[in-house]
Amino acid sequence: MALLKVENLKMYYETMRGHVRAVDDVSFEVRPKESLGLAGESGCGKTSAALSVMRLLPHNGRIVGGSINFDGVDIAKMGSEELRKKIRWKKISMIFQGAMNALHPTYTIGHQIAEAITEHEDVSKREALERAGSLVELVGIERGKIDRYPHELSGGMKQRAVTAMALACNPDLVIADEPTTALDVIVQAQVLKVMKELQSKLDLSWILITHDLSMIAETCTRSAIMYAGKIVESGSVVHIFKEPLHPYTQKLITAFPSVLGPKMELSSISGFPPDLLQPPPGCRFHPRCPHATDICKTKEPALVEKKRDQFVACHLY
């Protein structure tokens, strides 16, 4: 029984020049205590999909189709007040891209974490701060630092603080959007370590959004690869990495050079990601796909289960 089941989600941005089809018929699911890695290039729609789940879209973003089933309830159709009280942070929380700016500059991090707690639970401020202290300890920050302001913390600490904040109300699902992008490599490793510890200690489900496939390989059990607003391949991480089926996935995996392996020329994918205002007809990857055939240019491939727990959308299969 899936915890989160996104089915045929369509989310467009309304702009003066037309509809930008950021999320176009996307389906994936996250099972309890599972971690799903959502991967893809910048602009492929992964953040948009995440924001849609929590309905944190900007003014011009609209969910125009599909369902988002959380624990059996379609939260895409839920009223905003109910969503705010029951789902946001309580059931699903998020760690945003660029944690530096996600924290309010004039409140202490302890206050900001406690704020989330007192909003959803009937506890006193003091108790909430106590819990905030424990939470930051979980992510490896000294308890006393909850009285610090964001500008007094380093980048890595801020990232971990935001992680702690996401866990404040013991949610069932945490969405982490590019949690290590703005950090240097050493700090990245620290944050990853913390996340893996949390995974093992707590009974959460995760959605990890990133363009870094190696991170997904290290931390997730399942993965979904997005391209131009669509899911092109999904399934268990082991299977996808061992035997990537979709041409795009294959290219992605080979694009990351292995430090230990033999020296190779850097391979990249030719071309540019498509314009989501007017995406190419048929399979959206066909302009850049080395195996493209005529049918790829006209008919969109459906996501089918090719092998056990491995789904792919490609006319090759």
Partner 1 sequence: MASVFSREKRIVYSRKIKGFWEEFSRKKIGLLGLAMVIFYVLIAVFAPLLTPYNPLSTEQVAQSFARPQWITIFPQYSDLPTTEKFPLYWSIEEESELIQSYGTIVVAEYEAENMEIVAVRLAAKFNFTSIPPIEFYFKFTWGGNDIQDLKYAIRIALFTPDGTRYSPMTDIYLMSLEQAGGELVTVQSVNPFFRQRLGFETHKNPAPVIFNQTGEYKFELNIRFQPKSTAASGKVTVKDTECVILGQVHGILGCDHAGVDIWTQLVYGARVSLEIGLLAAVAGASIGILVGVVTGYLGGVVDELMMRVVDILLCLPFLPLLLTLVFLFGKNIFYIVLFIAVFGWQGLSRVIRSQVLSLRETAFVECARASGASKFYVITKHLVPNVLPIAFASLVLAVPSAILFEAALSFLGFGDPRVPTWGKMLHQAFGFGAFTHLAWWWLLPPGIAITTLCLAFVFMGHALDEVVNPRLRRRR
Partner 2 sequence: MREYLIKRIVISLLVLWIIASLNFVIFQVISPISPEKTIVDPRMTPEVRDSLATLYGLKDPMSVRYLKYIKNMFTWNFGVSFTSLRPVVQEMSTRLPSTVLLLGSSLIGTILVGIPMGILAASRRGSKIDVLAIGGGLFTWGVPTFFIQLLFMLTLCYYASIWFGFQIFPASGISSRPPPTDPLAYMADVAWHLTLPIVTLILAGFGSWALYTRSMLLDALTQDYIVTARAKGLTERTVLYRHAFRSTLPPIATMIALNIPGIISGAMITEWIFTLPGIGRWYLNSMMAADYPVVQSVLFIYAVLMIFANLSADVIYGILDPRIRVGSRR
The residues binding partner 1 (CB under 8 A) are 58-60
Pattern 42-61, partner 2, x by CB under 8 A: ------------x-x-----
Which option in partner 1, partner 2, none does residue 96 bind, with CB closer than 5 to 8 A by kind? partner 2
Which option in partner 1, partner 2, none does residue 299 bind, with CB closer than 5 to 8 A by kind? none
Which residue in 120, 222, 230, 251 binds partner 2 (CB under 8 A)? 120
Which residue in 7, 41, 71, 115 binds partner 2 (CB under 8 A)? 115
CA dist 250 and 241 (Å) reads 9
Looking at beta carbons, which pairs linking 99-105 to residues 24 or more positions away fall under 8 Å? 99/155, 99/158, 99/159, 99/161, 99/162, 99/179, 99/182, 100/150, 100/155, 100/158, 100/182, 102/162, 103/150, 103/158, 103/161, 103/162, 104/150, 105/149, 105/150, 105/151
Question: Phi and psi of 188, rounded to 5°?
Answer: -55, -45
207 binds partner 2, rule: CB under 8 A? no
Q: Which is nearer to partner 1, 60 or 124 (CB)?
A: 60
Which option in partner 2, partner 1, none does residue 19 bind, with CB closer than 5 to 8 A by kind? none
* Six token digits for residue 223: 């993965």
Q: Which is nearer to partner 1, 11 or 208 (CB)?
A: 11
Q: Which is nearer to partner 1, 58 or 72 (CB)?
A: 58
Q: Which residue has the tokens 């992605």?
A: 252
**How many Cβ atoms from other residues are within 10 Å of residue 290's Cβ?**
9
Using left for φ > 0, alpha for ψ between -120 and 50, and beta otherwise, residue 178 falls in: left
CA dist 46 and 223 (Å) reads 12
Which residue in 90, 222, 284, 315 binds partner 2 (CB under 8 A)? 90
Q: Which is nearer to partner 2, 148 or 306 (CB)?
A: 148
Residue 139 makes CB contacts below 8 A (sequence gap 6+) with: 160, 161, 163, 164, 194, 198
Q: Which is nearer to partner 2, 94 or 136 (CB)?
A: 94
Pattern 260-279, partner 2, x by CB under 8 A: --------------------
- Judged on CB neighbours under 10 Å (0-12, 13-18, 19+), 200 is exposed
Which option in partner 2, partner 1, none does residue 128 bind, with CB closer than 5 to 8 A by kind? none
Which option in partner 1, partner 2, none does residue 149 bind, with CB closer than 5 to 8 A by kind? partner 2
Q: CB 219 → partner 2: shortest distance, Å?
A: 22
Question: Given the rule CB under 8 A, which residues bind partner 2?
Answer: 54, 56, 84-85, 87-90, 93-94, 96, 98, 101-107, 115-116, 119-120, 148-149, 151-152, 162, 165
